[in-house]
Structure 1
Amino acid sequence: MSGLFARLHGPSRLQRLRTVSLPEPSFDYEAHLAACGRGERQALHTLYLQESPRLLGVAKRLVGDTALAEDIVHDAFIKIWSGAAGFDSARGSARGWMFSVTRHLALNVIRNHRRETPLMGDFEPPLHDSTEAPESLDPAGRIHRCLEQLDPERRSCILHAYVDGYSHAQISARLGTPLGTVKAWIKRSLTALRECMG
């Protein structure tokens, strides 16, 4: 979610629209996954060349560290290879499944990092306000909290746009919602997130 935090305070709206308006690549992900399921390593290599830059971008936006993101993408392709035979196209697109594998690994890294981060010795820095929730001190935690306050449809639009990298038209088709409605939801949701983030 750190990427979303950066987008709320970073690039211009025009740059954001250019980012999410990229066309869907004309590439047969499903056929390559099926080939992976049959043990064809060249298919995995082709998938890696095709999609690893975008998956790296997703991982890096979530964890905020290039080296860690590269490890996540490496692990994601191991899982993609080992799980390809079990991929079910009835449950979603092959490309979406690959992104989902990567996102889940990145979110697991974030959760594990929070659990394992040691305090400096036995000293725990006091909060300025004892009623303040710990996640309010952490931008990623604050974004999760703010996203939870959005309606599910609007939250899906934001995640599809800024985590999955879908265009507004792709989100419209995916959710079965008019394009104008999707654009309005994203605009209002970004405003609400900015207000929530302070």
Structure 2
Amino acid sequence: MILQVGLGDRAAFSALYDATSAKLFGVCLRVLNNRAEAEDVLQNVFVKIWQKANLYSANGYSPMTWLITLARNAAIDKLRARRGGTVDIDDVHDLSDDAPTPEAEAIASSERARLNGCLDELEADKSEAVRRAYLDGDSYQDLAARYDVPLNTMRTWLRRSLLKLRECLSR
């Protein structure tokens, strides 16, 4: 079958895959101990078999030995690449960027513009009271004193203003 694959025979390649893939997958899985990596390596092995089957020569070894050697070597290469890329976590500086992504910035800017537009639709004193209460952290008592209204009136202002904002933002 390998010789036929070397000649570009797709049916022979399919038959070779069906006959050997389980065994070769087992070899890769045994070396890597990771199913996803073993599947990737197996795929690469079969690509290599398709490309290099014309170079196969028995040299006294069975065809299965050649295939297992290809799979084993590819899995070992993957294992070495995995190990070579590791660094002690204590030696690595924190490289993460806590800043919002450009997409998140654009969305936040758009939402901020919508909210400001809705706040502008409120009466000026009520808009300012909402901003002071929910953005600046002023207490209801402080706001009631500032606008010279009873505490319950300030609560009503804020509640009604929030309902108007919700209605505006849902449009």
The separation in 1 between residues aligned to 2:49 and 2:65, in whole angstroms, is 12
Larger RCO (CA under 8 A, 6+ residues apart): 1
Give 2:86's aligned amino acid. T
Identity of aligned residues (%): 30
Give structure 1 regions of 4+ aligned residues with deviation exceeding 6 angstroms.
none
The separation in 1 between residues aligned to 2:22 and 2:86, in whole angstroms, is 29
Please name the residue that 2:100 is paired with: none
Paired residue secondary structure (2:89)? coil
The separation in 1 between residues aligned to 2:78 and 2:60, in whole angstroms, is 25
Residue 77 of structure 1 deviates from its aligned partner by 0.6
Give 2:2's aligned amino acid. L
Q: Is it true that 1:111 corresponds to 2:80 in the alignment?
A: yes
Gaps of 5+ in 1: 1-31, 124-198
Residue 91 of structure 1 deviates from its aligned partner by 4.7
- Which residues in structure 2 correspond to 1:1-198 (within 5 Å)? 32-122=1-91
Structure (1 or 2) with the larger CA radius of gyration = 2
The separation in 2 between residues aligned to 1:91 and 1:116, in whole angstroms, is 38
Give 2:31's aligned amino acid. L
Please name the residue that 2:145 is paired with: none
Deviations 1:8-52 (A, max 9, x none): xxxxxxxxxxxxxxxxxxxxxxxx101101001111111111110
Deviations 1:67-116 (A, max 9, x none): 10011110011111111101011252111100000000001111111110
Paired residue secondary structure (1:90)? coil
Give 2:82's aligned amino acid. H
Report the TM-score when normalising by structure 2.
0.51
Give 1:110's aligned amino acid. L
How many residues align? The count is 92
Gaps of 5+ in 2: 93-171
The separation in 1 between residues aligned to 2:10 and 2:90, in whole angstroms, is 47
Paired residue secondary structure (2:91)? coil
